[in-house]
């Protein structure tokens, strides 16, 4: 399985510009991440196998989406928060914002070792890098994976803010069950 590390600014990130926040649009984005991208760290490559979508806009209120109080990431940037790490999603025209919470990854260089839980994933993907280098080497890269069936369910562990307007019932958790090869 070959990969190419393309420059972030050269990647087409239009698919992260949310146009119609819905299960259908989020599933299409999940499909791209599950089958066309991986996360490369300083020492390994990880396949995302579980994620949750959080989106807040005037048309789609979701109180569980972290407000952008301290930082306002662009689509495709890492967004660290109290529950883990997201890949930011956005729509500049509507003012909508949100993130794709990484819930589980497998290390494809270590016999598909599974790492579950948003904080475990954040620690696995970003720990062990030098605090004295100018950049964090963790990045999204193009990588082809075999097609897997995508499953979905309600998000896990939504707090009280997320229960307003029934946002806790959105089926915005997506996952695949790849077989160890």
Residue 14 lies inside a defined structural domain of this protein: yes
Residue 137 lies inside a defined structural domain of this protein: yes
Distance (Å, rounded) from C-alpha 94 to C-alpha 53? 18
pLDDT per residue of the chain (181 residues) written in tens, 0 to 9: 343 444 444 578 889 999 999 999 999 999 999 999 999 999 999 999 999 999 999 989 998 998 888 899 999 999 999 999 999 999 988 889 999 999 999 999 999 999 999 999 999 999 988 888 777 889 999 999 999 999 999 999 988 888 888 888 999 999 998 755 4
What is the CATH classification number for the domain harbouring 82?
A: 3.10.300
Domain span including residue 85:
3-175
pTM: 0.90
| Widest CA span in the chain | 45
**H or E element that contains 29:** helix 23-36
Residue 181 lies inside a defined structural domain of this protein: no
64-81 b/e with 16+ CB inside 10 Å = b?
A: bbbeeeeeebebbbbbeb
Residue 104 lies inside a defined structural domain of this protein: yes
């Amino acid at each position: 399985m070959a990969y190419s590390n393309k420059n972030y600014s050269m990647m087409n990130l239009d698919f992260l510009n949310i146009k119609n926040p819905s299960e259908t649009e989020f599933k299409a984005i999940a499909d791209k991440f599950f089958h066309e991208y991986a996360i490369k760290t300083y020492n390994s490559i990880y396949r995302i196998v579980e994620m949750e979508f959080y989106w807040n806009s005037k048309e789609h209120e979701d109180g569980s989406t972290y407000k952008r109080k301290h930082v306002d990431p662009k689509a495709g940037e890492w967004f660290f928060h109290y529950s883990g790490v997201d890949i930011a999603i956005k729509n500049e025209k509507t003012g909508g914002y949100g993130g794709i919470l990484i819930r589980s990854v497998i290390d494809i260089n270590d016999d598909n070792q599974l790492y579950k839980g948003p904080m475990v994933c954040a620690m696995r993907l970003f720990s062990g890098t030098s605090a004295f280098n100018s950049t964090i080497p963790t990045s999204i890269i193009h990588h082809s994976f075999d097609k897997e069936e995508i499953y979905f369910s309600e998000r896990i562990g939504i707090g009280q803010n997320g229960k307003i307007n029934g946002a806790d019932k959105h089926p915005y958790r997506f996952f695949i069950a790849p077989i160890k090869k």
